[in-house]
């Protein structure tokens, strides 16, 4: 009953695990304005100090840049060997995370938190290594420069003109347990620079020289000081507010950051993060996917995706809003989520058009008067135009066909209109052209529809407006007709294309919901983990177009593929990565910060009680997985699968418990019955034997013989009881392995009859066994036991001298063996009860049975896949029959020519 009363060992393990979780390492950051202020120096000084106090300090990786005063500080510290990674002909020294985890120092020094690891490392970034070390309970000292803080990256870039690509997420910085600002006045720093005490990579000497201008240094120093001050401020506030920060945040502001497809999307996100941070507000990054934006080239769309991912990393909630109009969608969502501020990027409307086009700002300001609007500027870094026409709106073939359709529609309308020209009003002909525009818009979309509008108006003018076959117009009033016609055509185009898009979005959405619904429905019907795996693999393939695998843990928590291979199942997942994911309950692989280079995305299957496994999938198209909606859908899928696995697990646990209870009950009744059945003969044995030993002289020879016979009878009874109970127990525990072989049935029956030998004396036994088939498949020992028990039963319950008939025949159902007697027959209701354990029919005198013989028969027959029953014969007597299904073909033996023995 381990599941009702928790196993103490398991409880202890759980407590220890939780303790380990609670005991994550402390992160201390030595924070400076720029290189050369002495962060590494400060870190090493402190390391020496704590070492002097007897703390186990180890250097994981430290970059001294061969500065003498820094190198001196390394003396006496244990230095972990670095991991050498070959990269483009050079050897790179990387922090050896596994060695550090194995060494487990109290404090590990890891310089340059923003460092990017060599390709092929476990994590792309060093701060991720550090997170793992912290999670393992190791304290870490590290260093960070202000320009490496993600949200300050832009600002520093603008100040200094140099951008760095190695950044640390603000979250990591903010969650550090301690930040020590290493400050050096700018003049001193410049002095150090002059003395050559600041490390300068030669290849970047010029840029670096630019960087170390006094103005820059002052600005950087201010940034660093301010960032630290912000942190101190936040800490003070947290302290005042107690631990209820999240509650307070709920009441505070909510910021909506609108991410557009423009080049400065990431800048907007970073600015949003800074703002949200300073306001201590929750923030949501949203992308409105309008029909126009959906037609953007792939490169720009993936930039949006990148920006959204960045926002997620920076701690934002993200959403993609499908909508006709950016303003509508933003305004609606802002209302829905109760946002108090909306951050947008500066519109990149060409200066010439500015007087004519209202900016997003203007329209939005009108729509949401109560909400603050913030426009984030910043120079737009002109990235090389993403391979210009390369991927404009879908495959060229379909586009081309759309335009052909447009042209054909106009030609067709013209052909229809020409003969009608004398008969119908010219305005109605214009209607025909408009009709063609509608049809083209519905069928081929916006571009062809615009083309149809223009060509249509032109054709209308050329063919249908007098003078014919010229663009000249006799009546200037027609110019108005053309204008109106064009406007109407374009409006129709716009509306129809919008509708098409909305319909598509709705269809997508419906498909998502339906796929989720279908999978949930199928999962709810699944009874085993294997079924769940099959359903999951099938649906993930259908929805995400990715072969996938569900990896399940064994009893020791080691992941493995479930048995059997399902179609479309992924077989190349890396079990060690999956194990990592399972142990840490974090996603890894493609699209994450851990082992992103594998091409396979690993997702933990988290259920309410614990993680149930790992879903690994290899998407053909990353977009199908990493668009926020799809990602959420995937997470929901994972949650559903995990829930189903957990449900099945608990069902199994419940069944096992029930089974245990049943067997417990059985054991109790068995014990009760056996103890009674054993005591009676034991009492007789003891009595009879003691008479023989103690009163030998006084007993007559007849009495002595009588007592000896009693002892023999009772001993035989006990022997029978014991072997029956043992047989029963072996059958029930499943310890009996069926040894099915091909036997002649008469041999099986014959063996039983000759074994019973003397006991059958005085009985007529008629054996009637059909000759065909020659061989039947069964376990001869066990079936022999069944026949023995049945005969035994007949011997016990039928009067001496009455005959026993044994018959065997094969029909469609299988082999049928019957044993019939001429005894008193079965009492009412006994047909079923005789097979129950310890059921004994009343007998007139004589030793009753143990009450297990027929139960054993039933167990053996059922183990063969057959069934057994009892019935009364039409004329006097009872009949016991059993059927054993026969499936295989009996083996053939080549007939042998009869030769006469002896040969010559």
Partner 1 sequence: MSEPRPVVVLIEDEPQIRRFLRTVLPEHGYALFEAETGKQGLVEAAVRKADVVILDLGLPDMDGVEVVRRLREWTQMPVIVLSARAQETDKVAALDAGADDYVTKPFGVGELLARLRAALRRASRDEEGSQVFESGPLKIDLAARRVLLASSEVHLTPIEYRLLAVLVRHAGKVLTHRQLLKEVWGPSHVEHSHYLRIYMAQLRKKLEEDPARPRFLLTEAGVGYRLAVP
SS3 61: strand
CB nearer to partner 1: pick between 269 and 749:
749
CB nearer to partner 1: pick between 556 and 737:
737
CB nearer to partner 1: pick between 350 and 893:
893
Over the window 75 to 114, marking each residue x when it contacts partner 1 by CB under 8 A and - when it does not, the resulting string is ----------------------------------------
CB nearer to partner 1: pick between 307 and 783:
783
879 strand-pairing partners? 820, 871
CB nearer to partner 1: pick between 195 and 896:
896
Give min distance, CB of 602 to partner 1, in A: 48
Question: Are 871 and 821 contacting, i.e. CB atoms less than 8 angstroms apart?
Answer: no
Alpha-carbon gap, residue 126 to 144, rounded angstroms: 12
Over the window 721 to 740, marking each residue x when it contacts partner 1 by CB under 8 A and - when it does not, the resulting string is --x--xx--x--------x-
Alpha-carbon gap, residue 50 to 47, rounded angstroms: 5
CA nearest to 238, candidates 314, 294, 174? 174
Give min distance, CB of 621 to partner 1, in A: 56
Q: Does 691 bind partner 1 (CB under 8 A)?
A: no
CA 649 to chain centre: 16
Give min distance, CB of 725 to partner 1, in A: 12
User: Using CB under 8 A, which of the segments 37-45, 204-212, 232-240, 895-903 binds partner 1?
Assistant: 895-903
Q: Work out whether the CA dihedral 285, 288, 294, 295 comes out positive or negative.
A: negative
Give min distance, CB of 720 to partner 1, in A: 10
CB nearer to partner 1: pick between 4 and 737:
737
CB nearer to partner 1: pick between 188 and 747:
747
Query: Which tokens belong to 220?
Result: 């950087």
CB nearer to partner 1: pick between 674 and 841:
674
Give min distance, CB of 763 to partner 1, in A: 12
| # chain residues binding partner 1, by CB under 8 A | 40
Alpha-carbon gap, residue 816 to 773, rounded angstroms: 12
CB nearer to partner 1: pick between 203 and 899:
899
CB nearer to partner 1: pick between 695 and 741:
741
Q: Does 898 bind partner 1 (CB under 8 A)?
A: yes
Q: Does 891 bind partner 1 (CB under 8 A)?
A: yes
Pairing of strands 282-289, 317-322: parallel
CA 408 to chain centre: 51
Task: Pick from 157, 542, 744, 773 the residue near partner 1 by CB under 8 A.
Answer: 744
Give min distance, CB of 664 to partner 1, in A: 25
CB nearer to partner 1: pick between 440 and 775:
775
Alpha-carbon gap, residue 839 to 854, rounded angstroms: 9
Alpha-carbon gap, residue 420 to 544, rounded angstroms: 53
- Sheet (strand 814-821) strand order: 765-769, 804-811, 814-821, 878-884, 867-872
Task: Pick from 28, 566, 601, 743 the residue near partner 1 by CB under 8 A.
Answer: 743
| The CA-based dihedral angle spanning residues 782, 787, 790, 792, taken in that order and rounded to the nearest 10 degrees | -100
Residue 669: CA atoms inside 13 Å, Cβ hemisphere, count? 12
Give min distance, CB of 719 to partner 1, in A: 5
The residue ranges of DSSP E strands in 484-628, in sequence order, are 548-553, 559-560, 588-589, 601-606, 611-617
Alpha-carbon gap, residue 128 to 27, rounded angstroms: 13
Question: Are 605 and 537 contacting, i.e. CB atoms less than 8 angstroms apart?
Answer: no
Question: Are 519 and 535 contacting, i.e. CB atoms less than 8 angstroms apart?
Answer: yes
Give min distance, CB of 880 to partner 1, in A: 19
Alpha-carbon gap, residue 853 to 98, rounded angstroms: 64
C-alpha separations of 669 from 660, 666, 673, 722 in Å = 14, 5, 6, 16
CA nearest to 727, candidates 816, 850, 881, 879? 850
Q: Does 823 bind partner 1 (CB under 8 A)?
A: no
Give min distance, CB of 565 to partner 1, in A: 32
Pairing of strands 878-884, 814-821: antiparallel
CB nearer to partner 1: pick between 619 and 853:
853
User: Using CB under 8 A, which of the segments 37-45, 95-103, 431-439, 743-751 binds partner 1?
Assistant: 743-751
Give min distance, CB of 696 to partner 1, in A: 15
Q: Which residue do the tokens 């940034």 mark?
A: 223
CB nearer to partner 1: pick between 322 and 681:
681
Q: Which residue do the tokens 């002109």 mark?
A: 382
Q: Which residue do the tokens 């190695």 mark?
A: 166
Neighbours of 384 (CB within 10 A): 6
Residue 771: CA atoms inside 13 Å, Cβ hemisphere, count? 0
Q: Does 235 bind partner 1 (CB under 8 A)?
A: no
User: Using CB under 8 A, which of the segments 264-272, 379-387, 423-431, 886-894 binds partner 1?
Assistant: 886-894
Helices (H), 370-395: none
Give min distance, CB of 703 to partner 1, in A: 21
CB-based burial label for 657 (10 Å; 0-12, 13-18, 19+): middle
Give min distance, CB of 723 to partner 1, in A: 5
Over the window 703 to 722, marking each residue x when it contacts partner 1 by CB under 8 A and - when it does not, the resulting string is ------------x---x---
Q: Does 903 bind partner 1 (CB under 8 A)?
A: yes
Residue 853: CA atoms inside 13 Å, Cβ hemisphere, count? 23
Give min distance, CB of 847 to partner 1, in A: 17
CB nearer to partner 1: pick between 64 and 807:
807
Query: Which tokens belong to 344?
Result: 């947008």
Give min distance, CB of 120 to partner 1, in A: 54
- Name the DSSP letter for residue 692: H
Distance between first and last Cα of the chain: 76
Look at phi and psi of residue 469 and say left if phi exceeds 0, alpha if psi is from -120 to 50, else beta: left
Q: Does 746 bind partner 1 (CB under 8 A)?
A: yes
Which secondary structure element, helix H or strand E, spans residue 132, and what is its range?
helix 126-135
CB nearer to partner 1: pick between 200 and 767:
767
User: Using CB under 8 A, which of the segments 115-123, 347-355, 417-425, 894-902 binds partner 1?
Assistant: 894-902
Give min distance, CB of 663 to partner 1, in A: 21
Over the window 15 to 44, marking each residue x when it contacts partner 1 by CB under 8 A and - when it does not, the resulting string is ------------------------------
Question: Are 615 and 602 contacting, i.e. CB atoms less than 8 angstroms apart?
Answer: yes
Query: Which tokens belong to 477?
Result: 């009033």
Rounded to a whole number of angstroms, the CA Rg of the chain reads: 44
Give min distance, CB of 785 to partner 1, in A: 9
CB nearer to partner 1: pick between 473 and 765:
765
Interacting positions 748-787 with partner 1 (CB under 8 A): 748-755, 765, 767, 769, 774-775, 780-781, 784
Q: Does 74 bind partner 1 (CB under 8 A)?
A: no
Q: Does 218 bind partner 1 (CB under 8 A)?
A: no
CB nearer to partner 1: pick between 348 and 719:
719
Which secondary structure element, helix H or strand E, spans residue 533, and what is its range?
helix 529-544
CB nearer to partner 1: pick between 81 and 903:
903
Give min distance, CB of 826 to partner 1, in A: 27
Which residues contribute to the site for partner 1 (CB under 8 A)?
715, 719, 723, 726-727, 730, 739, 741-744, 746-755, 765, 767, 769, 774-775, 780-781, 784, 890-891, 893, 896-903
């Amino acid at each position: 009953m381990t599941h009702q009363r928790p196993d103490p060992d398991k409880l202890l393990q759980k407590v220890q695990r939780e303790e380990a979780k609670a005991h994550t390492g402390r992160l201390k950051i030595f924070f400076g304005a720029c290189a050369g202020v002495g962060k590494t120096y400060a870190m090493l000084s402190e390391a020496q100090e704590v070492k002097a106090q007897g703390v186990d300090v180890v250097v994981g990786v430290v970059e001294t840049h061969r500065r003498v005063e820094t190198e001196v500080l390394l003396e006496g510290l244990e230095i972990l060997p670095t991991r050498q990674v070959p990269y483009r002909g050079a050897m790179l020294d990387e922090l050896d995370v596994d060695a550090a985890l194995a060494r487990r120092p109290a404090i590990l020094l890891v310089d340059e938190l923003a460092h990017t690891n060599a390709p092929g490392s476990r994590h792309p970034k060093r701060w991720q290594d550090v997170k793992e070390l912290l999670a393992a309970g190791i304290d870490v000292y590290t260093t960070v420069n202000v320009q490496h803080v993600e949200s300050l990256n832009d600002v520093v870039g603008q100040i200094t003109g140099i951008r760095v690509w190695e950044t640390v997420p603000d979250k990591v910085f903010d969650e550090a347990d301690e930040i020590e600002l290493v400050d050096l006045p700018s003049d001193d720093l410049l002095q150090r620079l002059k003395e050559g005490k600041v490390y300068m990579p030669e290849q970047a000497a010029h840029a670096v020289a630019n960087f170390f201008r006094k103005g820059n240094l002052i600005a950087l120093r201010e940034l660093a000081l301010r960032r630290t001050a912000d942190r101190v401020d936040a800490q003070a506030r947290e302290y005042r507010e107690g631990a209820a920060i999240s509650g307070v945040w709920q009441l505070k502001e909510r910021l909506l950051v609108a991410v557009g497809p423009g080049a400065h999307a990431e800048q907007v996100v970073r600015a949003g993060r800074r703002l949200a941070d300073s306001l201590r507000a929750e923030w949501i990054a949203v992308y409105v996917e309008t029909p126009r934006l959906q037609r953007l080239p792939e490169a720009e769309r993936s930039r949006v995706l990148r920006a959204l991912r960045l926002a997620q990393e920076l701690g934002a909630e993200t959403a993609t809003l499908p909508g006709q109009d950016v303003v509508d969608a933003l305004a609606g969502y802002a209302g829905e989520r109760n946002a108090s501020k909306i951050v947008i990027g500066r519109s990149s409307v060409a200066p010439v058009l500015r007087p004519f086009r209202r900016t997003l700002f203007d329209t939005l300001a009108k729509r949401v008067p109560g909400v603050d609007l913030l426009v984030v500027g910043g120079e737009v870094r002109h990235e090389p135009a993403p391979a210009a026409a390369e991927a404009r709106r879908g495959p060229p073939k379909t586009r081309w066909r759309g335009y052909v359709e447009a042209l054909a529609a106009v030609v067709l309308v013209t052909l229809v209109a020409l003969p009608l020209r004398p008969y119908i009003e010219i305005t109605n002909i214009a209607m025909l052209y408009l009709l063609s525009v509608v049809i083209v818009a519905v069928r081929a979309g916006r571009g062809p529809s615009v083309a149809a509008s223009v060509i249509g108006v032109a054709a209308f003018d050329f063919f249908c407006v007098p003078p014919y076959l010229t663009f000249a117009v006799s009546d200037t009033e027609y110019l108005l007709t053309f204008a109106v016609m064009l406007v109407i055509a374009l409006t129709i185009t716009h509306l129809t294309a919008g509708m098409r898009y909305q319909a598509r979005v709705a269809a997508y959405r419906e498909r998502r919901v339906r796929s989720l619904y279908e999978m949930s429905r199928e999962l709810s019907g699944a009874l085993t983990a294997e079924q769940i795996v099959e359903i999951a693999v099938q649906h993930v393939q259908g929805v995400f177009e990715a072969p996938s695998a569900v990896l399940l843990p064994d009893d020791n928590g080691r992941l493995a593929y479930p048995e059997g291979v399902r179609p479309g199942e992924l077989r190349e997942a890396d079990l060690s990565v999956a194990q990592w994911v399972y142990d840490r309950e974090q996603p890894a692989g493609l699209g994450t910060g851990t082992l992103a280079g594998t091409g396979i995305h690993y997702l933990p299957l988290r259920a309410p009680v614990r993680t149930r496994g790992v879903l690994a999938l290899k998407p053909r198209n990353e977009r199908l997985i990493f668009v926020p909606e799809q990602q959420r859908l995937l997470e929901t899928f994972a949650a559903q699968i995990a829930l189903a696995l957990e449900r099945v697990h608990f069902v199994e646990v419940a069944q096992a418990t029930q089974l245990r209870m049943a067997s417990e009950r059985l054991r109790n009744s068995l014990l009760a019955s056996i103890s009674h059945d054993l005591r009676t003969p034991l009492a007789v044995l003891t009595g009879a034997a003691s008479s023989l030993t103690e009163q030998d002289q006084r007993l007559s020879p007849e009495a002595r013989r009588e007592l000896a016979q009693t002892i023999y009878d009772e001993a035989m009874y006990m022997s029978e009881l014991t072997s029956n109970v043992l047989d029963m127990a072996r059958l029930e525990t499943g310890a009996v392995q069926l040894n099915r072989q091909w036997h002649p049935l008469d041999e099986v029956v014959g063996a039983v009859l000759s074994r019973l030998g003397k006991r059958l004396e005085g009985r007529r036994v008629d054996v009637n066994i059909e000759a065909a088939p020659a061989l039947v498949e069964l376990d001869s020992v066990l079936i022999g036991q069944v026949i023995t028990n049945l005969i035994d039963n007949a011997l016990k319950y039928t009067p001496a001298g009455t005959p026993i008939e044994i018959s065997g025949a094969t029909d469609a159902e299988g082999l049928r063996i019957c044993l019939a007697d001429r005894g008193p027959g079965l009492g009412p209701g006994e047909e079923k009860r005789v097979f129950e354990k310890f059921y004994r029919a009343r007998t007139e005198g004589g030793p009753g049975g143990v009450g297990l013989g027929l139960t054993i028969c039933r167990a053996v027959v059922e183990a063969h896949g057959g069934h057994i029953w009892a019935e009364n014969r039409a004329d006097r007597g009872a009949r016991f029959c059993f059927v054993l299904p026969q499936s295989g073909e009996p083996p053939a033996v080549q007939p042998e020519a009869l030769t006469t023995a002896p040969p010559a």
